[in-house]
Amino acid sequence: MKPLIVLVAAVMLSPISFAQDSIFPIWGEQATQRGHTLPKPYGLSLSYMDISNPVTIDNINLTGGIGDIVDIDAKKAEFEGSNVTLRGDVWLLPFMNVYGIFGYTRAQSTANIDSISILGIPISAGDVKFTLDMSGMTYGLGTTLVGGIDNWFALLDLNYSLTDIDAIDGNIKTFVAAPRVGHRWQYDGGRELRVFVGAMYQDVQQHLSGDIQALGLDLGGMNGLLEGSRFEVSQRTEQQWNALVGFQYSFNRDWDVLAEAGLGQRNSALVSLGRRF
C-alpha cells in the first residue's frame, strides 16, 4: 500500500488543473449562467473508516476431519473493521457525480457459539467463540445525486463494493444507500462549510470458507482432527439502517476535509481528505 499512498500524495499535491479543458459537467455552462457555482469537475480523495455492527449468521458448517463428528451452531456475531480507500470521481452532470473506489479492508468477525454436539450428543458450549480474521482489497463503483434550494441541499449516495479476502476463500459484498440533508455557509476565498444529517442503508453479505487450521484453533490432544477440516460461513448485516451526522469544510476550491459519524446499532467513523482538479 505504501507505493500507492506515495502516488496518491504526489497527484493530490500536483498544481495541475484539468477544469478549463474539461467537457464535464455536461450542461455545466448552462448551470453557471443560471447563477450556480459548480465544483471543479474531477476529484481525488483518501479516506479512513472504522465500523462495528452486529451480524446475523445464516449458516455455519464444518466438513471433513473434525467436521465429520462435530456440529456447531451460532446465530449472532460482532463485526469490526476498518478500511483505507482511494476515491476518484467526476461530475458527469451538475447534479450527478460518479466515482470509483479502491482500497484495503481489515476486519474481524467474532461469534459466540450457541451449541456444540459431538456425534449428535449435545455438550456445553461454555464461552467458546468462532473468530474469522479478514483482510483484502476492496473495489467499487458509485454515484451521488444532489439538489438544493438556496443554501439548503439534499443528496443521495449509492455505491456497491466487493472485498476479496486474502487468507480464506470468500468475499464481502456491500451495497450502500445514504440520503443526507444539510445547510451550507459560504465565506470569502472559496471557503465553505456544510453540515448535514442523514441515514445509511447498508446491506452486507459475507460468504466465507477455508481450512479450519487457518483459524488458529487449539484443541490440545485433538489437534490431529483439524487436518482436512474446513468451514463454511454465510452471514449478513443485522441492522441495515443507522443515523448519520457530519460536516464538510472546503479550504478553497481545491481542498476539502470531510468527517462523518454513524450512530445506532452500527457505529462508524469516517474522515476524508479531498482534492479537486
Q: Which of the 8 DSSP states describes residue 247? A: E
Q: What is the pLDDT of residues 159-184, one digit of tens each?
A: 999 999 886 788 899 999 999 999 99
Q: What is the pLDDT of residues 203-257, one digit of tens each?
A: 999 888 888 776 655 555 556 666 778 888 899 988 899 999 999 999 999 999 9
List, in order, residues 6 or more apart from 131 with CB less than 8 Å away: 108, 109, 110, 111, 215
